[in-house]
Amino acid sequence: MRVNVTVNGAPMTADDVWPGESLLYVLRERLGLPGAKNACEQGECGSCTVYLDGEPVCACLVAAGQAEGREVLTVEGLASGEGELDPVQQAFVECGAVQCGFCTPGLIVQAHSLIARHDGVPADAEIREHLAGNLCRCTGYEKILDAVRLAARRKAGS
How high is the pLDDT of residue 99? 85
Kindly report, residue by residue over 69-88, the tens digit of the pLDDT: 999 999 999 998 788 999 99
What is the average pLDDT across 55-78? Answer: 98
Using CB atoms within 10 Å of the CB of residue 40, give its burial: 0 to 12 exposed, 13 to 18 middle, 19+ buried: middle
| In a domain? residue 82 | no
Q: Are residues 108 and 66 in the same domain?
A: no
Residues 73 and 91 in one domain: no
Element (H, E) at 11: strand 10-14
H-helix segments, 65-141: 75-78, 87-94, 104-116, 124-130
Give the mean model confidence (pLDDT) for residues 106-120.
96
What confidence tens digit (pLDDT) does each residue in 115-154 have? Answer: 999 989 999 999 999 999 999 888 789 999 999 999 999 9
CATH of the domain at 62: 3.10.20.30
Structural domain of residue 33, as residue ranges? 3-77
Domain boundary among 18, 51, 77: 77
Nearest CA to 66 out of 24, 112, 119, 127 is that of 24
- Please tell me whether residues 67 and 121 are part of one structural domain: no
User: With contact defined as beta carbons under 8 Å apart, do 60 and 22 qualify?
Assistant: yes
Of 77, 101, 126, which residue constitutes the final position of a domain? Answer: 77
CA 120 – CA 93 distance, rounded (Å): 21
- Count structural domains, the chain: 2
Q: Could you tell me if residue 30 is inside a domain?
A: yes
Phi, psi torsion values for 25, nearest 5 degrees: -60, -45
Amino acid at 89: Q
Query: What pLDDT does residue 132 have?
Result: 95
Same domain membership, residue 13 and residue 62: yes
Residue 125 CB coordination number (10 Å): 8
> What single letter denotes the amino acid at residue 45?
C
Kindly state whether residues 21 and 57 are assigned to the same domain: yes
Tell me the C-alpha distance between 39 and 49, whole Å: 11
Among 11, 42, 77, identify where a domain stops: 77
Domain shared by 56 and 94, yes or no: no
pLDDT over 90, % of the chain: 88
Residue 19: pLDDT over 80: yes
